[in-house]
Amino acid sequence: MRLDRWFKVHFPGLGFGPLQKLLRSGQVRVDGGRVKSDTRVQPGQVVRVPPLDVDAKSKNTPIAGHDLKHGGDYELLQRMVLHEDDKVIVLNKPAGLAVQGGSGVTRNIDKMLEAWTSPKGEKPRLVHRLDRDTSGVLVIARTRGAAQKLTAAFRERDTKKTYWSLVRGVPRKHEDKISTWLVKEATADGDRMRVAKHGEDGADHAISYYRVLETAAQNLAWLEMEPYTGRTHQLRVHALHIGHPIIGDPKYFIEDPNWDVPGGIQKRLHLHARKIDIPHPSGGRLRVSAPLPPHMVQTWNLLGLDLASQEREDDE
């Protein structure tokens, strides 16, 4: 039997993409050796499966609002795990869960990580952040040394972060670079970023790249977005700047009297940290991708966007 078929039988909840990642990273082995999905396994051979994915059916299942409020920290974190080794953990953060504490924040990842404190008393550390309403890939360092290396990789821009978004309208250029200056300003609804003039006090340079993956009746566009810099709300402000704000963005989506959000689409931010490519503290590179959150899957299905093909392309 092919190994991927063996996993389908024994771990039906483990998707094709996650299995490929386990194989590529050498976490799955047959008789101690590295293998591929088309390797044929024989009776009597020993298949090593990392304990991380033994309960494959419950892992990586969408985390609903009720669970976020009432679930235990340890259990919720386990359900978010996309990758885990002795130096790095990668989570799929649900939309609506804050990464760090702040005003009005009752629960956040940073506080939850105390549930994973090691026997030596070392708590896993954040090395970057995502907006509260943005879902997707979040990298956590297990140790102080790993945190220093990962933080340096983000600071030196030796990382590649890829986001998926849904925006109003279709950009005239299907692939482009966005380069502006951004500055934070206080508003009645809290801090907000805006495009600033070069040299304006407090302004930072911000560069993003985007390409159109698919469109829905020239009314909406599915964008792949990559922030070269890491400014607050950068992709959200840049989407607005080119005239195509992200659907459901509570801060930057400006209503257009000639345009209505199609029925059935939830008014939640349609921005997801899809993939990250980062140097692993032990050497080599770590590449992890996260499945879309339920509200975006619902929208993609409603619009007939070809999610499966794009996910397969990502996993190749």
Residue 24 located in a structural domain: yes
Q: Is residue 4 part of a domain?
A: yes
Residue 1 included in any domain: yes
Q: Is 315 a catalytic residue?
A: no
| Residuewise pLDDT in 10s, the chain (316 residues) | 788 877 876 676 676 778 888 899 998 999 999 999 889 888 788 888 886 444 444 455 678 777 787 788 888 898 899 988 889 999 999 999 999 987 777 899 999 999 998 888 899 999 999 999 999 999 999 999 999 999 999 999 999 999 999 999 999 999 999 999 999 998 877 789 999 998 899 999 999 999 999 999 889 999 999 999 989 999 999 999 999 999 999 999 988 888 888 888 999 999 999 999 999 999 999 999 999 999 999 999 999 999 888 888 876 6
Residue 27 lies in a domain: yes
CA–CA distance, 159 with 250 (Å, rounded to integer): 28
Instruction: Confirm whether 136 is domain-assigned.
Output: no
Record the pTM.
Answer: 0.79
* The pLDDT value given to residue 315: 67
Is residue 314 domain-resident?
no
Instruction: Establish if 15 belongs to a structural domain.
Output: yes
301 within domain boundaries: no
Total domain count for the chain?
1
Query: Residue 10 is part of which domain span?
Result: 1-46
At residue 57, the pLDDT reads: 40
Catalytic residue of the set 55, 67, 131, 158: 131
> What pLDDT sits at residue 237?
97
